[in-house]
Chains A and B, each alone.
Chain A
Amino acid sequence: MNAGEIVRVEGLAKEFRSGLGLRRKRAVDGISFSVREGEIFGFVGPNGAGKTTTLKLLMGLIRPTAGSATILGHDVGETAFRRHVGFLPENPYFYEYLTGREILGFYARLSGVPGRRIRERVETLLAWVGLEHAGDARLRTYSKGMLQRVGIAQALVHDPSVVFLDEPMSGLDPIGRKEIRDLVLRLHGEGKTVFMNTHILSDVEMLCDRVAIIVKGAIRYEGPIAEFLHSDERKADVVLARVSLELAAGLDARWGPLTGRGEHVELHVDEKAIHDVLAQALDGRAEVVSVTPRGASLESIFLSAVREGGDAGPGGPP
């Protein structure tokens, strides 16, 4: 393991067998990547690409067919080092007969938090995830968003140095997603390493330092997110209202095809040109409805990786 590497994956493969072992599906096909200390690493891919299978391999929930993986220098088959690891599975499930406080106490004890510190950690984590008011209610009464927060809290209750999150924004409303984003940034600020499985590119752009794109079980790209963000290819969608015919013709001629959406018109322009577009629109007495940056480069790399993966490579998980 190189200095500063928290996670190292080399030639990791997983084959699932079904139908009495006669049918085989290779969900992960000899992938290699590394995660460095203190970074937020985005593991990106479409549904069924092998993201969750990879995470389960890292968590020791499934055994690899080939290859190796280490976390903090320990083989993932070991147990003791997990006191430094936090894990949030996708759509987490918990013992419904326990209360929020009880479940966090249970995980704290399992993680080896000293008895005298358990109460303090539980209360801190409940406050962190905004569940202090519901700490004494049984989990069967919790909403999906509240369970996701319990999931985050249990992943952090033992103050791990590296945290693995599988689709952490899954099923959350916009406020919940924002809170999780803030939490991830807070963990980053505390120097923790975060590994995040997701298929939401905007989250990746907003949060991650580096990214790996996995398609059909194979890594198609791995690199720093900054390369995308400083790319010249970034685009933005500009939506305008009250556009006169004269202005529409001018915008169309200068900035490319104008598309209509009810009373609104939309332009897809380079990010560098936004200022000029808006100036022309406002001069023409149009109303600016919205300006939405598009992660064109990450999106385009992602899409081209998915398209390439469609031509070759193994199948997704069973």
Chain B
Amino acid sequence: MISPVGIAVISANTVREAVRSRVLYTLLFFAVLLIGTGVLLSTLTYVERERILQSVGLAAIRLFGAAIAIFVGIGLIHREVERRTIYTILSKPISRCEFLLGKYLGLVATIWIQLVIMGLAFVAVSWLAGAPLTHQIGLALGLAAVELAVIVAFATLFSAFTTPMLAALFTTGLYVLGHLSRDLRDLGARSDDGGVRLVATALYRVLPDLESFNLTTQALHALPVSGHEVGLALLYGAGYCGALLALAVVVFDRRDFK
């Protein structure tokens, strides 16, 4: 049986580690700086200044959020094994599954805290520039949070069995592919070759569809977003995270800590 207490203790400590890490503050600083830079970029044009400002801001949030998730996530488990801190932790009444879930949830909480800080910077810059703050922007940031949870799940899975270098390669690769998987599906659909269609569809089913979490266009143009669309994206994100974490637990449970 999984104990929530052990998971909570590990999560809280993972957040504490992040709070005391200078590297994360540096990344966060640059993210906020880039959001602010939108003000400068928007002065280069006379039309749609507010839209450019918000476009740069949302892009910065998504990109830096993903960078932080990958950067921290790839070493999440590996670092514990490499530095042997895991020896004393697993000798306590906590299972490997609880440890892994605790680390994952701690990192997701950290990334979401940073997302809130970046979101606040975005709101401040938009308000100062007189750009509209629509509820679609809130939804876009909400789904960006789900996307980051999926990226952290990928990083956690890879970190559970390989080196940070390879985990970074795999996670970044899947992040890029995840944003191209819809194009791949559409490309296959347009092909006359049945084999190509089959492969493209299969790849689309396996690869993450990270564009499901991208509401940037709707946010910038204040287009309507259906609750059905958001609900499906949430379910998809939760299911994907669950599957990745289940796989990570199976892999991690079989490991020997030499």
A contact set with B: CB distance below 8 Å: 16, 56, 59-63, 79-83, 85-87, 89, 92-95, 97-98, 106-107, 109-112, 151, 154-155, 158, 164, 317-318
Contacts and interface: CB of A to CB of B under 8 A. Distances in A.
A107 B92 contact: yes
Given A61-B90, A79-B93, A83-B93, A109 B9 contact: yes
Interface in B6-32: 6, 9-10, 13, 16-17, 20-21
Contacts of A62: 256-258
Contacts of A16: 256, 258
B116 interface: no
Interface string B75-117: 0000000011111111111110000000000000000000000
B13 A85 contact: no
A56 B6 CA distance: 21
Given A86-B91, A92-B87, A158-B92, 12 more contacts: A16-B256, A61-B86, A63-B256, A82-B91, A87-B87, A95-B85, A97-B17, A97-B20, A97-B21, A107-B88, A155-B88, A318-B258
B84 A59 contact: no
Given A110-B9, A110-B93, A111-B93, A63 B254 contact: yes
Which of the listed residues B6, B16, B83, B91 has the most CB atoms from chain A within 10 Å of its own CB?
B91
Contacts of A86: 91
Nearest to A93: B84
Contacts of B10: 110
B11 to A, nearest CB: 12
B250 interface: no
B247 interface: no
A318 B6 CA distance: 33
B5 interface: yes
Nearest to B82: A93
A51 to B, nearest CB: 14
Contacts of B88: 87, 89, 92, 94, 107, 151, 154-155
Nearest to B85: A93
Contacts of A154: 88
15 contacts: A16-B256, A56-B257, A59-B91, A60-B91, A61-B257, A63-B254, A83-B92, A87-B88, A89-B88, A94-B85, A95-B85, A106-B13, A109-B9, A110-B94, A317-B258
Nearest to B1: A80
Given A56-B257, A61-B90, A61-B257, A89 B95 contact: no
Contacts of A107: 88, 92
A243 to B, nearest CB: 52
A318 B9 CA distance: 34
B87 A80 contact: no
A62 B95 CA distance: 13
A59 B92 CA distance: 9
A87 B93 CA distance: 12
Contact of A106 (B9, B91, B256): B9
Contacts of B94: 79, 82, 110
A95 B90 contact: no
A144 B9 CA distance: 26
Contacts of B83: 93
Contacts of A97: 16-17, 20-21
Nearest to A97: B20
A112 B87 contact: no
Contacts of A164: 91
B87 A89 contact: yes
A112 B93 contact: yes
Contact of A89 (B9, B17, B84, B258): B84
A151 B94 CA distance: 18
Given A16-B258, A63-B256, A106-B13, A85 B91 contact: yes
Contacts of B254: 63
B250 to A, nearest CB: 14
A83 B5 CA distance: 14
Nearest to B17: A97
A87 B258 contact: no
Contacts of A318: 258
A109 B256 CA distance: 25
B248 to A, nearest CB: 18
Contact of B5 (A59, A112, A155): A112
Contacts of B17: 95, 97
B87 A79 contact: no
Contacts of A81: 93
Contacts of A158: 92
Contacts of A93: 83-85, 87
Nearest to B102: A110
